[in-house]
Structure 1
Amino acid sequence: MASPAALQQPAPRPPSNAAAYDVAIIGAGVVGCAIARSLAIRGWKAIVLEKGGDILEGASKGNSALLHTGFDEPAGGMELKLIKAGCATYRRIHGRMNLPLVETGALVVAWDEEQLGKLAGIAAHAQANGVAVSVLDRAALRRRESMLSERALGAVDVPEEAIIDPWSAPLGYIRQAMMHGAELLTGAEVAGLSRRQGAWRIETGKGEVAARLVVNAAGLFGDRIETLAGRQPGFTIRPRKGQFVVYDKPAHDLAKAIILRVPTERTKGVLITRTVFGNLLLGPTAEDQEDRIHAACEEAVLRRIMAEGEAMLPALAGQTVTATFAALRPATEHRDYVLKADAENGWLTVGGIRSTGLSASLGIGEWAAEQGSIILGEVRPAPPDDDLDWPRMPPISEALPRPYRQAGRSPIVCHCEWVTENEVSAALSGPAPAGTLGGLKRRTRIAMGRCQGFGCTGALARLAPHLVEAGKTDAAA
């Protein structure tokens, strides 16, 4: 096996030819990665510019990991259209990429008479959105979810809701984009944008890049990128924090379906869901804040949502909490996504992609590729799936056969999540290697189990010393 030093990748170099790109995509979150995929498979020469040291370093690193049907989205909006398109595409391609899809279904549960009276309307709205649902009475709900509180009075059953791996999917999208000629440049924060002679000149921390078309998929900083380019954003990012609680493996089987609350105008509320990694997840909250970078967990809030969770699922009381985390969503003053195509100036705006971005990302990618192709002057449909190159993603979910179960495997270096040494080594090499300690965790799940890295410290220091040291520096900052 190669030594750790050999597995460390050289820092990405700035492009030597600053005018070589058809498209520059700003932001390597799940949406930016999906857009890169859709453009690259059509043959457009694309580069993704990411200010962080790895993909998914912003809003995309923390979410509920649901594949949403859009059953409760406002009718007629772009968000609904792209959720449905993205969901359908994921279902079509996930097997080719070796990505998990666990068909849990979801239940929108009524906890009082007022909510019970809303179920018929929720079901009618879902059916109008093209999503098959049914209404369950109390007895039918109890047969489905015997561990729910006796307070549960009924539910809308949404059988097509599912859970996926939120980190391997976008990694698969960017890897497929790279297989078709796209480039990824991390540590490339955009410092300036100017348009000259039909091309954008983009000043980054890794040098200047020029492209005929810019796609602004900068997430939490999308409005600032618009302003930096001398444009009127038309939206303001209003970061919305969500806090989550992750329960240990024994809690996984307490709920079979995704347990949702009857939503309000502002939020879908705290939910309970299994994860594809064998845990049970509770959250998120919905808290507006000014800070676009830091998302802190607060003990009082976590205890409140744990109490809410226990009120819905009493058996949660006393279950071990493996981890807590908080993440930001790039909400805006608009209810729908902010999607704009400016053909005259060679610019696509992809803003306000909130919690449904994971589900909608492949649909947004197709929208961006279609609009981008028009702007670039040549309509290029996506090739048939059989004509594409497909990455096979390492299986890190419990829904797929894991390497630790295989004969002749390498030593296990994380016993909480059963991560082998070869899995870590592979994540440090190849296309789009882990560029941060968080990125390595998201690729392998090392140090993400019940001991939160206590038992993995030695292995991490041996296999990825550069990322461990960089992580210490980031934590100190």
Structure 2
Amino acid sequence: MARRFTLDGARVLVLERAPDILDGASKGNSGILHTGFDAPPDTLEQACIAAGHQEYLKIRDRLGLPLRTTGAMVVAWTEAEAARLPALMEQAHRNGVTDVRPLDRAEILERAPHINPAFHGGFLVPRESVIDPWAAPTGYLLQAIANGAHVDRNAPVQGGAFDGETWRLDLPGRSVRTRSVINCAGLYGDHVDQLLLGAPGFEIRPRKGQFVVFDKAAARLLPTILLPVPSPTTKGVVVCPTAYGNILVGPTAEEQESRADASVDGATLAMLRETAARLVPALAGQPITATYAGIRPATEEKGYRITPYPDRRYISVGGIRSTGLTAALGIARHVAGLHRACGTDWAPLAAPGWPAAPRLSETDPRDWQDRDNGGIVCHCELVTRREIEAALGGPLPARSLGGLKRRTRATMGRCQGFYCSGALAEITAGHFAAPLADPAEDRHD
């Protein structure tokens, strides 16, 4: 959203409640660039997915964003699921994804030689792809900043009022004024609506999705995205490659009250491993690199909850669930169009800057391959000292270990930081509010 409004000529301030960006719903995603073949037809969500997919392909080279066109197979594991495949393909055609096609048994086994042969049919979605779920939003925000936007972190909105011309937004210890407000608060979107409008337009109902990440050695076992036949409530459990060279399985769909509890549990993780091994038997016994959970800002309704309030120059953007990574650019264009109804005097930037996003994808050139990189600090993920120092500086510096991970992949590999944490504590000293090491612990009697 910040990128779109900045490129359109607006003066933009992003208020982020957390110490770093992507600390909320955006940090836990499967990393798939969807075509929208299975989105509800003729809906805002489907339109935003299609527009977002198209714009990502258009801008990704200029921002240095990865794209791994693996394609996807929707595979039916029961006769009942197989009976639903023709309707799903018809839905894809209605959504403009006309290149889907049925796959015979030999083609499925050729595309995924290690798949369980006990399937009942499937079809191909050629343009489903794998992208980096952190580099993309980071790249969007870096472009906004490079063209004049500002970001305030640790800046939760605590209240405010509209006087008919401008908004006053109350932050801890200060206030800011703005002509317009775009509420993109994710898991706290209804809270912000309540604070500023007096009543929320929707109710967030957090939905947790747990994931298991297999070690890079498993990558050879599945070169494509393996999708289930979706149900009315969830896309189901996916097994797919990642941009970082792993195989991922998930997510679950667990309703919960907490907006912050992203914990995982042994029983659910075991179920995900068993599911992966049932679909791709060669994954049984493969080592696990990581587990994590994301919390989706679902609401009491299935669709996106985007509502303009023109008389108050306010737009609420809520209910952006797992498709939000793909749809983000399309959502931003849609909201910018809604805002034009409020009246603007902006002129789009004639020659915007295009800074490069962090290079995190395993299929793209990495910094460890270049000279004078300061040496490798995180050997599991081949992260260099230069990459870490760059992430700690610049226009959007990492201010937490989580932020550093999402900019560099440091500590995210096989040893989960066991070997590199000491070096990271030294390099990051003075950069984080919560340091990785207590200097007092280094003193000896």
Q: TM-score, normalised by structure 2?
A: 0.95
Query: What does residue 215 of structure 2 align with?
Result: 248
Query: What does residue 443 of structure 2 align with?
Result: none
Report SS of the residue matched to 1:410: coil
CA deviation digits over 1:151-175, x for unaligned, max 9? 1222120001001111111111111
CA deviation digits over 1:84-124, x for unaligned, max 9? 10110000000001110000111110111111111111111
1:253-402 pair list within 5 angstroms: 253-378=220-345, 387-402=351-366
**Aligned letter for 2:386?**
N
Query: What does residue 438 of structure 1 align with?
Result: 402
1:114 aligns with 2:85: no
1:461–1:468 contact (8 Å) kept in structure 2: no
Q: Distance in 2 between matches of 1:57 and 1:360?
A: 19
Report SS of the residue matched to 2:108: helix
Query: What does residue 470 of structure 1 align with?
Result: 434
1:52-451 pair list within 5 angstroms: 52-131=18-97, 132-205=99-172, 207-378=174-345, 387-451=351-415
User: In the TM superposition, what is the alpha-carbon distance from 1:378 to its structure 2 partner?
Assistant: 3.8
User: In the TM superposition, what is the alpha-carbon distance from 1:374 to its structure 2 partner?
Assistant: 2.8
**Aligned letter for 2:74?**
V
User: In the TM superposition, what is the alpha-carbon distance from 1:407 to its structure 2 partner?
Assistant: 3.2
Q: Distance in 2 between matches of 1:293 and 1:287?
A: 14
Q: Distance in 2 between matches of 1:383 and 1:211?
A: 20
Cα 1:42–1:462, aligned 2, differ >3 Å: closer, same or farther? same
1:122–1:156 contact (8 Å) kept in structure 2: no
List runs of 5+ in structure 1 lacking aligned partners: 1-34
**Aligned letter for 1:465?**
A
1:404–1:420 contact (8 Å) kept in structure 2: yes
Q: Distance in 1 between matches of 2:250 and 2:303?
A: 22
1:133–1:157 contact (8 Å) kept in structure 2: yes
Report SS of the residue matched to 1:281: strand
User: In the TM superposition, what is the alpha-carbon distance from 1:138 to its structure 2 partner?
Assistant: 1.7
Farther off after superposition, 223-232 or 330-339 = 223-232
User: In the TM superposition, what is the alpha-carbon distance from 1:370 to its structure 2 partner?
Assistant: 2.0
User: In the TM superposition, what is the alpha-carbon distance from 1:373 to its structure 2 partner?
Assistant: 3.0
Query: What does residue 8 of structure 1 align with?
Result: none
User: In the TM superposition, what is the alpha-carbon distance from 1:328 to its structure 2 partner?
Assistant: 0.2
Query: What does residue 26 of structure 1 align with?
Result: none
2:425–2:435 contact (8 Å) kept in structure 1: no
**Aligned letter for 2:283?**
L
**Aligned letter for 2:9?**
G
Q: Distance in 2 between matches of 1:206 and 1:260?
A: 48
The 4+ residue runs of structure 1 with deviation greater than 6 A are none
1:55–1:439 contact (8 Å) kept in structure 2: yes
Q: Distance in 2 between matches of 1:62 and 1:418?
A: 22
**Aligned letter for 2:236?**
G
User: In the TM superposition, what is the alpha-carbon distance from 1:379 to its structure 2 partner?
Assistant: 7.0
List runs of 5+ in structure 2 lacking aligned partners: 438-445
Cα 1:234–1:310, aligned 2, differ >3 Å: closer, same or farther? same
**Aligned letter for 1:356?**
T
Farther off after superposition, 233-242 or 388-397 = 388-397
User: In the TM superposition, what is the alpha-carbon distance from 1:468 to its structure 2 partner?
Assistant: 5.8
**Aligned letter for 1:80?**
Q
Query: What does residue 37 of structure 1 align with?
Result: 3
Q: Distance in 1 between matches of 2:50 and 2:203?
A: 26
**Aligned letter for 2:358?**
P
The Cα RMSD (Å) is: 1.5
CA deviation digits over 1:248-299, x for unaligned, max 9? 0011121111101001111111101101111111100000000001111010
Report SS of the residue matched to 1:74: coil
Cα 1:422–1:379, aligned 2, differ >3 Å: closer, same or farther? closer
Q: Distance in 2 between matches of 1:166 and 1:206?
A: 33
2:168–2:177 contact (8 Å) kept in structure 1: yes
User: In the TM superposition, what is the alpha-carbon distance from 1:144 to its structure 2 partner?
Assistant: 1.4
User: In the TM superposition, what is the alpha-carbon distance from 1:49 to its structure 2 partner?
Assistant: 0.2
Cα 1:315–1:467, aligned 2, differ >3 Å: closer, same or farther? farther
Q: Distance in 1 between matches of 2:116 and 2:317?
A: 41
Q: TM-score, normalised by structure 1?
A: 0.89
